[in-house]
Amino acid sequence: MVFGAGAIGSVLATLLSERHEVDVAVRGDRIERVAREGISITGTMERTIRPDPHPEGTYDVIFITTKAYETATAAEAVGPFTHEDSVVASLQNGMSNLEILEKHFGDHALAGLTTMGATKVDPVTVNLVDRGRTVVGPPSGCPDRARIVASMLNDVGMDCTVSSDIHAEVWMKAVINTSINPVATLAGRSNGAILEHPPLYRLSERACAEAVRAAEANGVALPVANAFSLVKEVIWSTRNNRCSTLQDLATNRRSEIDEITGALVQKGEAAGAVMAVNRSLWALIREMEGRPMDY
């Protein structure tokens, strides 16, 4: 089951349906539309699937692809759909998803991170720009379940690896997100604008450097030596994509800026790092959402 078929979840469900029976969990009016029209992916892949939007029974693997601020609610909701060997994997932004899932599912929980570029066109259509790279890993202990999930994803055309230190990967994804999402959102442009305009490039570079220092202050060894080089790779591969934060603001939805930049700022400051650039980005995006910071 894919719980939360937004942009990433819709692509994930579509890819997995090539080799697996896949149901999706969606809300409100989307239930009827998915049942009637299915889910369509355009862009680098053209495909329509008709998954069942009425989950029932139990599932071997459950992917949670909701917004990060909905993870706790999602974990409660999927509990009844698990059996003793079920794997519950997060494929989300944010820094606390694995901790939340681990409380509910123990070592059956996995964290997954992806640089996939996808944009929701309408409630049942998603434009896929780039499949990106995906990494999965367990909170601790045996990686067997992570290997099974990675194998599933690779079998349907995703580039997925297993990490022996998923916590460092979570930090790395937060560094990437905070270097791209708020900058592109403030510019109101697709990700590629960051590479095209020097002021945006410098702002992204400064946000990245500060986020790296926050990781160091927290004793986290990031999986790459040059974080901004990886940020630039992600920007280039998703250059035509409008980031999730920009998509959220365009549809008057709450973004994940608290769970991305906000969480990074709080962890950095708690460890003594100066987070002036990222705190400013956090505050500006919240102002744009109509949720001013409470200093």
Please list the active-site residues. 173
Q: At 189, is the secondary structure helix, strand, or coil?
A: coil
Q: Among 42, 44, 43, 41, which residue's Cα sits nearest to residue 16? A: 41
Q: At 123, is the secondary structure helix, strand, or coil?
A: coil
Q: Count CA atoms within 13 Å of residue 232 on its CB side.
A: 12
Q: In what order do the strands lie in the sheet with 2-3?
A: 24-25, 2-3, 59-64, 82-91, 109-114, 133-137, 159-162
The two three-digit tokens of residue 139, written as one number: 């909170």
What sign has the CA pseudo-torsion 23, 28, 31, 33? Answer: negative
Cα–Cα distance list, 57 to 17, 84, 85, 160, 268 (Å): 18, 13, 14, 28, 42
For residue 128, the cross-strand partners are 43, 118
Q: At 112, is the secondary structure helix, strand, or coil?
A: strand
Cβ pair 121, 137 in contact under 8 A: no
